[in-house]
Amino acid sequence: MSLDEGSPTQEKRSSNRSATPPPPPPPPPLDSSNSAVIVAERRGAADAEERPSRRRGSWARRTYDSPTFQVFLVALVCFLTPGLYNALSGIGGGGQVDNSISEKASIALYSTFATVSFFAGSIHNKLGTRLTLWLGSLGYALYAASFLSYNLNGNSGFVVAAGAILGVCASLLWCSQGAIMMTYPTEQEKGRMIALFWAVFNLGAVIGSAIELVLARDNRANTVSNGTYAAFLVLMFLGSCVTWLLKKPADVVRSDGSRVVVPAQASWKHEIRGLFLILRTDYWILLLFPMLWASNFFYTWQFNAFNGVLFTLRTRALNSMLYWLAQMFGAFGLGLILDSKRFTRRTRAWMGWALCFVLVWAVWAGSYVKQRAYTRESVAEGGAYVRVDYTQSSAYAPLCILYIFSGVVDAVWQCLVYYLLGAVSNDLGKLAALAGFYKALQSAGAATAFGIDVAHRPYMTLLASTWALCVAGLLFAAPVIQLRITDRTVEEQGVLVVVPVPADVDADGAESATTATEEKVVLGLSPPRPVL
């Protein structure tokens, strides 16, 4: 039987069709010039990852686009810039007899380094990774030029000013470096990528120290020659040029086919707010601050109170080369532990922590034994103390071994910090901010240590404060490993995204929306991820 127009069944179907709501209109295109930050709905980490891309092109193209090669390029930049700077610093006093000028420059350097690093993540997110890295690399050649100038005309003001400028540049370089190294690899490859970077980076200090050793081989003086500074200046400038070989982050293809997610552009106001939002929402990061503070604090005692005062120039150059060479092996060994497939990520982090804890106690206990044998006054220049040369094997060998293991501790410490920060997030913007926090606190600690040395406090005071700070940093980091590190990074539990704001919303209305957003995120589940 056919159904006519007036049948109840037909009327019911018509009613159901009319009750169906129309589909929602598509969202308007993103306009970063008229936008505010609002909270997106919570979603799992799997939803936040991009769909894997097919890896096309030649083998050379795939290799060039890979995180491994990109991290290698960043390591090459650092090989030629901060790596050579470390070689210069590692011999104590920047290669000068009077290390007071170098220490004043170092205080200026680390003061500006600490200040700018706190905001370096925001600068990175606005300028982009490659430009930020290039700008950051330029200060190292200027710093080498200032020491060459000091040798020629004694202009100490230029050295201090160059140190302050280098602090600004270094904050940008290390922020970009940290973001690349922690973001580009997959979670299963982060330990190896950190080890790769640290090995290549420290190779710069090894080669730089070898250059110093060759040039100072027949030199019984305690100052670095003009030729050494000139060679460093040229090499550092070449390092700046390497930055333009880097790919854009969005073009990097990981080993699993996924791509790096580039953070959305936001205003400076939202970038700065995002920094504080990270600390409010991911408060476990605060427990890592003592470890970050200590990460360069120990350099002052190692470089100036040990290597800088106990040995001849050529022996200091040899010690510096062995110190940075030991870092390469230390980083490689820790990388194998941190990426081992036999254990969970938390267990691997605990293994790295335990190794670092044992090395800290062993090295600083040995340093304490040696420190008891001399004081600042007993080894002062012009006094009765005779500096140790590597030809004096019986006196030199135990001190050399102690210094080598000091380099191992440094590598294990720095790589462990990067691994813990990298386990917190996979987001480029957030990791850039965390790298900035790391370098800000690291530089503040280094400036404090240099200040203690410039004030001519006893070497034993400097050693004791360094030892205590290292132990405290590891103890404060322990809860982060136990309670924050998981086998897979889950961070999209309260995601901030940039969406358009209607043109008729005034500034006060936008401000109210932003404030409400921040409060909503803070009350949400931890750990949320602000897009910086």
Residues 6+ apart with CB under 8 A from 107: 163, 447, 450, 451, 454
pLDDT at 522 over 90: no
For residue 265, the SS3 value is coil
pLDDT at 157 over 80: yes
Residues 6+ apart with CB under 8 A from 2: none
What does the pLDDT read at residue 525? 29
- Structural domain count, the chain: 1
pLDDT band at 318 (very low <50, low <70, confident <90, very high): very high
pLDDT at 421 over 50: yes
Residue 409 burial (CB < 10 Å; 0-12/13-18/19+)?
Answer: buried
- Residue 527 preceded by cis peptide, ω within 30: yes
Q: Please count the helices (runs of H) and the strands (runs of E) in the chain.
A: 20, 2
Tokens at 376, concatenated: 């600042």
What does the pLDDT read at residue 406? 96
What does the pLDDT read at residue 492? 45
What does the pLDDT read at residue 245? 92
Q: What is the mean pLDDT of residues 263-271?
A: 64
Evaluate whether residue 492 is within a structural domain. Answer: no
What does the pLDDT read at residue 490? 58
Q: What is the mean pLDDT of residues 296-302?
A: 93
Evaluate whether residue 489 is within a structural domain. Answer: no
Evaluate whether residue 29 is within a structural domain. Answer: no
Q: How many CB atoms lie within 10 A of CB 269?
A: 12
Share of the chain above pLDDT 90, in %: 37
| Range with lowest mean pLDDT among 106-120, 147-161, 478-492 | 478-492
Domain coverage including residue 250: 45-51+61-379+388-483
CA distance 55 to 57: 7
Tens of pLDDT, residues 55-89? 556 788 888 888 899 999 999 999 999 988 887 77
pLDDT at 41 over 80: no
The alpha carbon of residue 507 and the mean position of all alpha carbons in its chain are separated, in whole angstroms, by 36
Evaluate whether residue 1 is within a structural domain. Answer: no
What does the pLDDT read at residue 44? 36
CA angle, 135 then 136 then 142, to 5°: 90
Average pLDDT, the chain: 79
Evaluate whether residue 242 is within a structural domain. Answer: yes
pLDDT band at 169 (very low <50, low <70, confident <90, very high): very high
Helix (H) or strand (E) segment spanning residue 35: strand 35-39
What does the pLDDT read at residue 22? 58
Q: Which residue has the higher pLDDT, 391 or 53?
A: 391
Q: What is the mean pLDDT of residues 359-363?
A: 97
- CATH number (domain holding residue 466): 1.20.1250.20
Evaluate whether residue 12 is within a structural domain. Answer: no
pLDDT band at 463 (very low <50, low <70, confident <90, very high): very high
What does the pLDDT read at residue 42? 33
For residue 39, the SS3 value is strand
Q: How many CB atoms lie within 10 A of CB 474?
A: 20
- Give residue 303's identity as a one-letter amino acid code: F
What does the pLDDT read at residue 341? 84
Give φ, ψ of 3 to 5 degrees.
-100, 125
What does the pLDDT read at residue 24? 55
CA distance 367 to 361: 10
Which of 275, 293, 267 lies closest to 441 in space, CA to CA?
293
Q: Which residue has the higher pLDDT, 223 or 217?
A: 217
pLDDT at 471 over 80: yes
Evaluate whether residue 37 is within a structural domain. Answer: no
Q: Which residue has the tokens 């926090």?
A: 437
pLDDT at 156 over 90: no
What does the pLDDT read at residue 508? 39
Evaluate whether residue 146 is within a structural domain. Answer: yes
For β-strands 35-39 and 496-500, DSSP reports them as antiparallel
pLDDT at 514 over 60: no
CA distance 352 to 415: 9
